[in-house]
Structure 1
Amino acid sequence: MNVFLRFALLFLFPAFSVASQQTADSLLVVFEDARSSSQRRDAANRLMTFLYEERSSEWNHPFTAHTPEDSLRMLVYLEAGTYFYEHSAFKQSIDCMKRCYRWAQTLHDTVRLEDVLHVMSASYTRLGMYNEAFEQMQTLRTIAEQKNDPVMLRRACNSMANICHHMRNDSLALTLYIKAIDIARKQKDEQALAVRLGNLGGMYADMRQPEKALPLLEEALALDMKNGWTDKIPIRQLSIGNAYLNMNEWGKAENYYRRVIEALRETTRDKVSLAIAYGQLGWLKQLLSRPDEAETYYKEAEKIAKEIGALAIERSCQEGLYTLYKEKNPALALGYLERNFILSDSLYRMETTQQMNNLRVQYETAEKELQIQKQQSEIEQTKQHRTLFALSTVFALLLCGMLYLLLRQRRKRNRQLAEANATKDKLFSIISHDLKSPVIAQKATLDTLIANYDAYETDDLLYYLERFRIASESQMGLLQNLLSWAQVQTGKAKFSPLPFDITHTIAETANLYAISSENKNIRITTEMPERCYVVGDREMIATVLRNLINNAVKFSHPDSEIHISLVSKTTSACISIKDSGTGMTERQVKAIRAGATSDISSAGTQGEKGSGLGLVICKDFLRRNGSHLVIESRNGEGTCMSFELNKVNF
């Protein structure tokens, strides 16, 4: 039996066996509880052997150590889910199929996906969950459209029509059945065509349109008999009997019903068709006023319906039994009537109507989505025609881009060489001019002292020695900045951030300028906590502080004050050096922010010289420490320089 007939048969006619179902349950539990691959493989083989012996599986090849784990799980859940469906354990079947669906998706196995979706849809239909059943087939239909697979599309349309037929949504079911038949005829697939013709003919028979039903059913029966598909023959005969019953040809109808009973009475499958045949014979005998025979057939149909949980058939039997008993046994008739009311509860009918409407909306929405997908596919094909041109265009653009990048890289190198030359020229200029000035001053002072040593008084000596000291300090500060600047320019300035006490560093640096500030009668005051630990390169921060304090002393007027403050915040510490000296012009502030040196160098209040390198070094060292220099200055009113460092809390 091929896959198509197998699942088409399952959809309509599940059987039932409680004992074998419990065995399958226990074997599946052992499989799921297995902890190792070998244990899981052994459990899978035991379960598959049981299913094969029960004729619920065609898989008789044992799993080996070479079987991939994902393939093993997918096949086990597929066969177990099929088995549970056959035995009317629909919820367990759905659970297995959901797991199989995940593995099939992982493996991109569309063949298994198709089987899974069919069984899930059939199980949902049996549970009365028509929306969920329809969604599974709609998913399959979408996959079929995307793959342009007419066989898969045919099966999806047929199954969707079956669901709509169950829901009594006849107009949508007819549309889908006819579409499935057209596809089968175009594909010349007699097996599929027979199933579709039988389904449509059976629907026309249920709709009491026998003149439309009989030609379709007889064509389907002829195909079944021609190809030897014996399992489908009772289904066709049952539908033909219904058509003759609607035509009031009682003898022909009874003849076909008895053929169905004779073919199915001794089997364990297709109990649904058997129950329907008995029920239809009961109705036929009731129409012929043969109540005893009708009662016998109704009760046989009711018995089978209860065994397999076919509520619709059971309800029909109870309607017939109520009619038979209402005259001769009203009490018994009332019991059948009450049971019929329970099965025909109005809430169930309302939910069914809502589901029918939902199905139609879903179908129409899906049709529109498929049209959109087709349009998008046409657009994609049009785009593909332009691909060659686009690729050549992209290639040309890439070539131009490469040429542009090469040219840009060349310009960048030229700019770097120009900057290096400018740096070299700046260095030589500072060495030849700025460094020469304090040396000349020192030499002139020494020459004067040596030439007139005997003539100088103590005060005169102190005056010339002071001038010599100032020139030496200027020379030392310039040498330190030249060294730092050279390290920055050559990339040799190493950055070593560690926690340190910034208050100690500030105090230590301020002490270096105690003498020079006293000589100008400048008072240096500090305002900071006893301890404050920050993270940074201590030597770089000390260099920054030296330059900022030196500038404050250099540009402060005699008899003034320099205030150094440290404000400890939650996550940072802010250090500021404020003076009331000469200040800076707006142009000088902009030049400092731009990183220039030529426009910011100026003499101090007592003629102290500078190179302009100090603030440039400060900015670079602060940047490396994750900070930046904040400048607040007005010409003639003083300057405030500040920066922040990340704080460490111990």
Structure 2
Amino acid sequence: MIQKIHNFLLLFVFLPSIALSQQEKGSDYFSIAIQKKAQSYKSEINFKKAQYFFLKEEWDSTLVYSMKQLNSNSDLEIKEYCHYFRGFSLKKKSLYTEALIEFDLINKSFQYYYLVDYNIGHLFHFEKKFKKAILYFLKAETEILNHKDESEIAGLYTNIGICYLHLNQFSKAEFYFKKDALLNPKQITKSVIRSNINIAGLYYEQYKDKQAIYYFKKAYTLSKNIKDFDLKQTAAFNMAVVEENRSNYKKALAYRKEAEDWKDSLNNQNKIWAVADYEKKFAVAQKQKQIKVLEVENKLKNTQRNGFFFAAIGLLLILTGGVYLYGQKVKNTKIIVLQKNKLDELNATKDQLFSIVSHDLRSSVNALKTSNAKLSATLETKNYDELNQLIIQNSTIANGAYSLLDNLLHWAMLQTKQLYFHKESVHLYSVIQQIEYNYKPLILDKAITFENSVSKNIFIFVDLDSLKIILRNLLDNAIKFSDENGTVNFYTQETDPDFCELIIHDNGIGMNENTIKELLQEGEILAKKNNSEIIGTGLGMQLCKQMIKKNSGTIAIESELNKGTKMILTFPKTRTNG
């Protein structure tokens, strides 16, 4: 019995190494994922180097560059990867406490957090805290199974089985070892052989020699079909111990000799690899020498080539500079010509404006002068009816002149951007009432019926002063172009939930399509003056259009000769909260 226990301990030392030889970084898809991540962050040089050395399993360099990346202003995702690199590298260097600190810094939202749990499980396994190790291995189980990577799944089952074995929970250990062995029973893989060795060790510890020997033999038979010298040596050595325990020393000796042969083959293989690595380094060194010689030759050639190149670049720059300067001169000339044309256009507009305004003012003043002369003569005759008519006529002429000057002032201020706009919530019905009051004398003089049919619930978001200017001008035009006993109606229509549509409708003389187009045309400073003196300068209409635009509104005109006119305005409604 003592011999059996002693020999079993020789067998059992292979089990932990089997568990820890499984791939711990994650499968190929994780390696591919971090390479793609590095490509997507091309500017993050330290991150690229950290992932490169991580894949090369150069742990010290991984720790250096991942820390450099963490010290820079990285985004959260890069930091998660760097903490994982550091935790894994510290684990490989057997710095388990420091590794656990790094893994704990990783947020659970990390895409590959299951690998964090898996590696923490390894840390607790190394510290012989097997219950905690099992807990973390099971946390990673669901995600590992989802990836359907057999090497990962095999490693997981093996590690869980070994933890249960250390806890003497043999039934659970057996369950996981057998799950590992049955992952891919039709293929002979290293994982399958290791699983059989683990199951054999499990039975051997429970003194179930028959079952143990069956699995040791199975592992030995399967090892014939693989090229892993280390695993072949393990399988042969285990069979040697089995035969020794059965007192079959001849067979035991044969198995031990085979195990030694495989050990020698492994050593030879390592030597061959070492020699190959040395030859590779020597070849690289020789190549580097050749490269240095070629670099010196290339430098000489490049010096000559660069001389010609820079000379050509110099000539090209001079030529390009000349072309650029010529182009700029042509461009500046075009700009000057355009500015001159614009200035000429503005001067022509100004001259036209002054010509029309001065003509209207002269006409108004002359009419006022003539009317005042008649007024003086009428005072001597004491004809009070005619006197009253002349006073009303004078008032009309003065109001017209005042309106013209007022529009001219506001138009000038608008053009020079001196007019101040302050938008606020305005009760439309009340504003129209005020405008009606201001024009009451003119309305009564022509016996015009004025109707304010605007909804009392409407509030619009506009500048109050400019709104009054717009409505005064349009009401003034409606009165001016209406006959005696005419009608002027202000009313609203609901066509849009965000805008108010205000209509100013009169039954006056109306206008034709050409006049409408002229009034609404963009860029026209004034409408053309017709022979009829009743048609004004059009300055008020231009002022209205610009102020409506400033208030985020629109204007449209519907009219026919002798059938009246509709001025259709839209303004934004006041937005209500809720």
Instruction: Give the alignment's TM-score, normalised by structure 1.
Output: 0.46
Q: Could you say if the C-alpha distance between residues 542 and 67 of structure 1 is closer, same or farther in structure 2, counting changes exceeding 3 Å?
A: same
SS at match of 1:608: coil
SS at match of 1:430: helix
Residues 516-567 of structure 1: CA distance to partner in whole angstroms, max 9, x if unpaired?
2333232212213445433221111111110111111111122221111245
Residues 199-253 of structure 1: CA distance to partner in whole angstroms, max 9, x if unpaired?
xxx99963965xxx5xx45xxx4xxxxxxxxxx4xx2314568999xxxxx9997
Letter of the aligned partner of 1:442 in structure 2?
A: L
Aligned residues: 371
Letter of the aligned partner of 1:206 in structure 2?
A: L
Q: Give the structure 1 partner of residue 202 of structure 2.
A: none
Q: Does the alignment pair 1:577 with 2:573?
A: no
Letter of the aligned partner of 1:608 in structure 2?
A: I
Among 524, 527, 551, the residue aligned to 1:599:
527
1:200-279 aligned at under 5 Å gives the runs 206=222, 216=227, 221=229, 232=230, 235-238=231-234, 254-255=252-253
SS at match of 1:435: helix
Q: Could you say if the C-alpha distance between residues 84 and 519 of structure 1 is closer, same or farther in structure 2, counting changes exceeding 3 Å?
A: same
Q: Does the alignment pair 1:469 with 2:395?
A: yes
1:641 positional shift: 0.9
Give the Cα separation in 2 of the matches to 1:84 and 1:260.
36
Letter of the aligned partner of 1:460 in structure 2?
A: E
SS at match of 1:484: helix
Letter of the aligned partner of 2:439 in structure 1?
A: Y
Q: Is the Cα–Cα contact under 8 Å of residues 378 and 387 in structure 2 kept in the other structure?
A: no
Residues 8-57 of structure 1: CA distance to partner in whole angstroms, max 9, x if unpaired?
8624599xxxxxxxxxxxxxxxxxxxxxxxxxxxxxxxxx99x99xx985
SS at match of 2:425: strand
Give the Cα separation in 2 of the matches to 1:164 and 1:473.
108
Q: Could you say if the C-alpha distance between residues 426 and 254 of structure 1 is closer, same or farther in structure 2, counting changes exceeding 3 Å?
A: farther
Letter of the aligned partner of 2:565 in structure 1?
A: T
Among 354, 359, 362, the residue aligned to 1:436:
362
Q: Does the alignment pair 1:517 with 2:443?
A: yes
Q: Give the structure 1 partner of residue 48 of structure 2.
A: none
Q: Could you say if the C-alpha distance between residues 447 and 260 of structure 1 is closer, same or farther in structure 2, counting changes exceeding 3 Å?
A: farther
Q: Is the Cα–Cα contact under 8 Å of residues 81 and 97 in structure 1 kept in the other structure?
A: no
Unaligned runs of 5+ in 2: 1-15, 25-85, 159-179, 191-217, 241-247, 261-315
Letter of the aligned partner of 2:517 in structure 1?
A: K
1:461 positional shift: 2.6
Q: Does the alignment pair 1:586 with 2:513?
A: yes
Q: Could you say if the C-alpha distance between residues 594 and 240 of structure 1 is closer, same or farther in structure 2, counting changes exceeding 3 Å?
A: farther
Q: Name the stretch that deviates more: 496-505 or 549-558.
A: 496-505
Letter of the aligned partner of 2:541 in structure 1?
A: L
Q: Is the Cα–Cα contact under 8 Å of residues 498 and 573 in structure 2 kept in the other structure?
A: yes
Residues 367-394 of structure 1: CA distance to partner in whole angstroms, max 9, x if unpaired?
xxxxxxxxxxxxxxxxxxxxxxxxx9xx
Q: Could you say if the C-alpha distance between residues 80 and 503 of structure 1 is closer, same or farther in structure 2, counting changes exceeding 3 Å?
A: same
SS at match of 1:614: helix
1:627 positional shift: 1.3
Q: Give the structure 2 partner of residue 82 of structure 1.
A: 122
Q: Could you say if the C-alpha distance between residues 12 and 70 of structure 1 is closer, same or farther in structure 2, counting changes exceeding 3 Å?
A: closer
Letter of the aligned partner of 1:644 in structure 2?
A: T
Q: Name the stretch that deviates more: 491-500 or 90-99.
A: 90-99
1:609 positional shift: 4.8
Q: Could you say if the C-alpha distance between residues 602 and 204 of structure 1 is closer, same or farther in structure 2, counting changes exceeding 3 Å?
A: farther
Q: Could you say if the C-alpha distance between residues 410 and 82 of structure 1 is closer, same or farther in structure 2, counting changes exceeding 3 Å?
A: farther
Give the Cα separation in 2 of the matches to 1:257 and 1:406.
98
Q: Is the Cα–Cα contact under 8 Å of residues 208 and 243 in structure 1 kept in the other structure?
A: no
Unaligned runs of 5+ in 1: 1-5, 15-47, 102-117, 130-162, 175-201, 222-231, 245-249, 263-391
Q: Give the structure 1 partner of residue 478 of structure 2.
A: 552
Q: Could you say if the C-alpha distance between residues 260 and 601 of structure 1 is closer, same or farther in structure 2, counting changes exceeding 3 Å?
A: farther
Give the Cα separation in 1 of the matches to 2:344 and 2:118.
75
Q: Could you say if the C-alpha distance between residues 535 and 205 of structure 1 is closer, same or farther in structure 2, counting changes exceeding 3 Å?
A: same
Q: Is the Cα–Cα contact under 8 Å of residues 597 and 611 in structure 1 kept in the other structure?
A: no
Q: Does the alignment pair 1:445 with 2:371?
A: yes
Q: Give the structure 2 partner of residue 305 of structure 1.
A: none
Q: Is the Cα–Cα contact under 8 Å of residues 77 and 97 in structure 1 kept in the other structure?
A: no
Among 136, 139, 153, the residue aligned to 1:92:
136
SS at match of 1:454: helix
Give the Cα separation in 1 of the matches to 2:401 and 2:518.
24
Among 615, 619, 638, the residue aligned to 2:541:
615
Q: Could you say if the C-alpha distance between residues 457 and 627 of structure 1 is closer, same or farther in structure 2, counting changes exceeding 3 Å?
A: same
Give the Cα separation in 2 of the matches to 1:57 and 1:514.
98
Q: Give the structure 1 partner of residue 465 of structure 2.
A: 539
SS at match of 2:409: helix
SS at match of 2:520: helix
Q: Is the Cα–Cα contact under 8 Å of residues 598 and 612 in structure 1 kept in the other structure?
A: yes
Q: Could you say if the C-alpha distance between residues 251 and 603 of structure 1 is closer, same or farther in structure 2, counting changes exceeding 3 Å?
A: farther
Give the Cα separation in 2 of the matches to 1:618 and 1:434.
19
Give the Cα separation in 1 of the matches to 2:23 and 2:430.
92
Q: Is the Cα–Cα contact under 8 Å of residues 234 and 259 in structure 2 kept in the other structure?
A: no
Q: Give the structure 2 partner of residue 10 of structure 1.
A: 20
Residues 157-191 of structure 1: CA distance to partner in whole angstroms, max 9, x if unpaired?
xxxxxx999635759x89xxxxxxxxxxxxxxxxx
1:495 positional shift: 0.8
Instruction: Give the alignment's TM-score, normalised by structure 2.
Output: 0.51
Q: Give the structure 2 partner of residue 144 of structure 1.
A: none
CA-based RMSD of the aligned residues comes to 5.6
Q: Is the Cα–Cα contact under 8 Å of residues 407 and 539 in structure 2 kept in the other structure?
A: yes
1:637 positional shift: 1.6
Among 552, 559, 563, the residue aligned to 1:626:
552
Q: Give the structure 1 partner of residue 421 of structure 2.
A: 495
Q: Is the Cα–Cα contact under 8 Å of residues 554 and 569 in structure 2 kept in the other structure?
A: yes
Q: Is the Cα–Cα contact under 8 Å of residues 81 and 96 in structure 1 kept in the other structure?
A: no
1:645 positional shift: 3.0
1:446 positional shift: 1.9
Q: Is the Cα–Cα contact under 8 Å of residues 353 and 526 in structure 2 kept in the other structure?
A: no
1:478 positional shift: 0.5
1:445 positional shift: 1.9
Q: Is the Cα–Cα contact under 8 Å of residues 630 and 642 in structure 1 kept in the other structure?
A: yes
1:97 positional shift: 11
Q: Could you say if the C-alpha distance between residues 241 and 7 of structure 1 is closer, same or farther in structure 2, counting changes exceeding 3 Å?
A: closer
Q: Is the Cα–Cα contact under 8 Å of residues 527 and 537 in structure 2 kept in the other structure?
A: no
Give the Cα separation in 2 of the matches to 1:61 and 1:399.
67
Percent identical among aligned pairs is: 23
Q: Give the structure 1 partner of residue 154 of structure 2.
A: 125
Give the Cα separation in 2 of the matches to 1:413 and 1:242.
100
Q: Give the structure 2 partner of residue 344 of structure 1.
A: none
Q: Give the structure 2 partner of residue 167 of structure 1.
A: 184
Q: Give the structure 2 partner of residue 421 of structure 1.
A: 347
1:257 positional shift: 5.4
